[in-house]
Amino acid sequence: MSPHKESVNFLGDNLPFMIFFALFALLAWDITAPISTPTLWAAMLSFISMPIYRFVNQRLMRNRFPGIAAGITLTLFLLICIVPILYALSTLGREAAGMGADFSQLLANIQQQAYSGKDFNFPAWLPVWAADYLTSFLENSEAVKSVLQYFAQWSAKFLSSLSAYLIEQGSSFILNVMITTMISFFLIRDGEKIVDYVKSVIPLSHDESEDFFSRTGSILNSIVYGIILTVALQALIGGVGWWFVGLGSPMLFGMLMFFFGMFPAGTAVVWVPGSIYLALTGDLKNAAILFTWGLLVVGTIDNLLRPFLISGGSGGCEIPTLLIIMGLFGGVMVWGFLGIFVGPLVLVLFVSVCDLYRKRWLRRHHG
């Protein structure tokens, strides 16, 4: 029988099953799509906490109580990682709210003093030269008064709508956390069985599937340890330097360093303007301290620790820089903060699949 007839017979014999399979695949997607983000978070958390589970299950439980071991692992992970993160976010929210309230009060005071003709009383953190410039500018510009009034009203409405949005999203966030926690428990307990099942159904040979999943684990190691751990350490040390020189809201600006540290611009986006602000206020000593701290300490961590961890110091594999940048930006735009993990992973795995296809093509044409 010719290859063409064999392919036609194969398609005809399996067409009913393919339709049957596609129907249930569509139904399964409709059910799981609304919880895709919590599921991805659960998969990420279970991967990170897997070393803890193996220690608890093998050393403490002797492989006899995997459910209890998974529960202990999840509890430890929440206590070690999630609780401090929630505390940091709550502190960040308070600091951001406080800064917003101070800014709104400043606008209100400027507006009131502009109409009353009194002298302007600017906050202590505003440089003297900037306060003098604003004073002369506001006293001679009626248009600025109306702009300030409009901006004060807009900022008040914005803060009010932001508070309402946060309250509205609070219930959704709690639900997602609950879903993530429950799925994480089962992924931690049955993760190896799930991976073995996926290996048995994907259209790859045994060696190809082993290589694919090994590379997936290495990529996740590289992302978690090479990027997240490095940036977290940078943010912590940068926040300490921010606090040491007397600048306000070190938790807020530490979180900003963590966010910008994911991208090529790095934490310098935060500590360089902080140094410039200190210099403009006349505090040249602390400005030099913060700049030196950011350049020699925070920057050295990024230049030394990240390449070591990404290149395999933690069991990871080398990730092309272009894929990291594209994955970070594209992933954040699609999945939010989760995209920091998922974006580079998807792109690198796509390149891995292309490599598998290339190897098959070469074997077919060159024996």
* Residue 139 counted as domain residue: yes
27, 30, 33, 38 alpha-carbon torsion, rounded to 10°: -80
Q: Is pLDDT at 336 greater than 70 in this prediction?
A: yes
Residues, the chain, total?
367
Alpha helices in the chain (DSSP H): 3-32, 36-55, 66-77, 83-116, 128-139, 142-201, 206-223, 230-244, 250-261, 268-280, 284-292, 299-308, 321-335, 339-366
Give pLDDT, residue 315.
46
Whether the Cβ atoms of residue 270 and residue 257 lie closer than 8 Å to each other: yes
* Residue 90 counted as domain residue: yes
Q: Choose the weakest-confidence range: 193-202, 211-220, 258-267, 348-357.
A: 258-267
pLDDT digits (tens, 9 = 90+) for 15-28: 788 888 889 889 99
Whether the Cβ atoms of residue 255 and residue 92 lie closer than 8 Å to each other: yes
145: containing domain: 33-195
What letter represents residue 317's amino acid? C
* Residue 345 counted as domain residue: no
Whether the Cβ atoms of residue 283 and residue 196 lie closer than 8 Å to each other: no
* Residue 50 counted as domain residue: yes
Predicted TM-score (pTM) of this structure? 0.66
Distance, in Å, from the CA atom of 302 to the CA atom of 231, rounded to the nearest integer, reads 8
* Residue 201 counted as domain residue: no
* Residue 56 counted as domain residue: yes
pLDDT digits (tens, 9 = 90+) for 84-93: 667 766 666 6
Give pLDDT, residue 119.
59
Residue 214: pLDDT band (50, 70, 90) is confident
Look at the chain and report how many structural domains it folds into: 1
3-state secondary structure at position 142: helix
pLDDT digits (tens, 9 = 90+) for 153-172: 676 676 666 666 666 666 67
Whether the Cβ atoms of residue 319 and residue 222 lie closer than 8 Å to each other: yes
* Residue 61 counted as domain residue: yes
Q: Is pLDDT at 103 greater than 60 in this prediction?
A: yes
Give pLDDT, residue 186.
92
Distance, in Å, from the CA atom of 180 to the CA atom of 190, rounded to the nearest integer, reads 15
What letter represents residue 100's amino acid? G
Q: Which long-range contacts (CB under 8 A, 24 or more apart) does 115-124 make?
A: 115/145
* Residue 39 counted as domain residue: yes
Neighbours of 293 (CB within 10 A): 20
